[in-house]
Amino acid sequence: MSRWKKLLVTAIVTVVAVGAIAVGGLYLTLKQRAVEYASPTSPTGRQTDLAALRGTRVFFGHQSVGDNILGGLARLFDDSGTPRPPVQKISTAAEVTQGAGGRLIHAQIGRNGNPASKFAAFDALMRAGMADHVDVALMKLCYVDFGRRTDPRDVFEHYRRTMTALERDFPKVTFIYTTVPLRTTDGYRNNLRTQFNSLVRRELRDKVVFDIAEVESRSPDGSRATGSTLGFPYEQLQAGYASDGAHLNRKGAQVVAEAFVATVNEAAQ
């Protein structure tokens, strides 16, 4: 064998070995973090009552997918001929305007890629006076908050601690829990997102949950977009609901907004 052939064979063997190590590393990471999969339950009999939502004071902390949902919500009102509720985007609780009746207050919270910053921002806004203005409050994480090194259990426990403390300190406010949005691809990270969502579904059964991932992964015919990474199942965003593989297009935004309305109305009862 010539020197160049030997070098080529060595290079190929090295690439294969590195790839095997990488795959093995992913497997071990998933196995160490493994959360038993909890499949979503499609809600039945929930009413998308826009008039009821108009009578509720809501605070929603979010980032870009939240903007998609709010855009879908606006179109739901316009398409139905129902007047929109007052909507106010704020940065601080001091900016909230006084007034009777329902309203939707929202803010972009924290930094993408840093779940802890979002929990802290939501907590700070509620404690700075937001709790005095609203009946219902919720915040959502984003798909970008789950990277290769994210531990879904750690994120979930931080989330639960934050929300439990707020529920204790502000009993007049109903707090809605949420699952994290998905991507159409990105299987390994979708797996981590699905593990977090499984914890929300299993551990928070006594809470009101806005299951964003359930809506994103369910097609109109009831089938689900799913996959598997090294034997670990995950859910993914329906391609027909995506504008870029991650954010929601007009159709997807409206479908998720319908679930938003139904969940807020459930919490306000």
- CATH of residue 245's domain is 3.40.50.1110
Q: What is the pLDDT of residue 19?
A: 39
- Rg from Cα positions in the chain: 21
Q: What is the pLDDT of residue 14?
A: 41
Answer whether residue 29 is part of any domain: no
Q: What is the pLDDT of residue 220?
A: 87
Q: How would you class 64 by CB atoms within 10 Å of its CB: exposed for 0-12, middle for 13-18, buried for 19 or more?
A: middle
CA 65/CA 156 separation, integer angstroms: 20
DSSP-derived secondary structure for the chain: --HHHHHHHHHHHHHHHHHHHHHHHHHHHHHHH-----------S----HHHHHTSEEEEEE-HHHHHHHHHHHHHHHHHTPPPPPEEE-SSGGGPPP-SS-EEEEEE-SBTTBHHHHHHHHHHHHHTTGGGT-SEEEE---GGG--TT--HHHHHHHHHHHHHHHHHH-TTSEEEEEPPP--SS-HHHHHHHHHHHHHHHHHTTTS-EE-HHHHHHB-TTS-B-EEEETTEEEE---GGGBSSSSSB-HHHHHHHHHHHHHHHHHHH-
Answer whether residue 163 is part of any domain: yes
Q: What is the pLDDT of residue 99?
A: 74
If you search the block for the tokens 């900016």, which residue do you land on? Answer: 95
Length in residues, the chain: 269
Number of domains the chain is built from: 1
CA 192/CA 168 separation, integer angstroms: 29
Q: What is the pLDDT along the chain (269 residues), one digit of tens a residue?
A: 565 555 444 444 343 333 333 444 555 555 555 678 888 886 765 668 999 999 999 999 999 999 999 999 999 999 999 999 999 999 999 999 877 789 999 999 999 999 999 999 999 999 999 999 999 999 999 999 999 889 999 999 999 999 999 999 999 999 999 999 999 999 989 999 999 999 999 999 999 999 999 999 999 888 999 998 878 899 999 999 999 999 999 999 999 999 999 999 999 98
Q: What is the pLDDT of residue 161?
A: 98
Answer whether residue 20 is part of any domain: no
Are 76 and 261 within 8 A, CB to CB?
Answer: yes
> Residue 122 sits in which domain range?
34-268
Q: What is the pLDDT of residue 251?
A: 97
Answer whether residue 22 is part of any domain: no
Answer whether residue 264 is part of any domain: yes
Q: What is the pLDDT of residue 24?
A: 45
Q: What is the pLDDT of residue 231?
A: 80
Answer whether residue 14 is part of any domain: no
Answer whether residue 79 is part of any domain: yes
Answer whether residue 132 is part of any domain: yes
Are 251 and 240 within 8 A, CB to CB?
Answer: yes
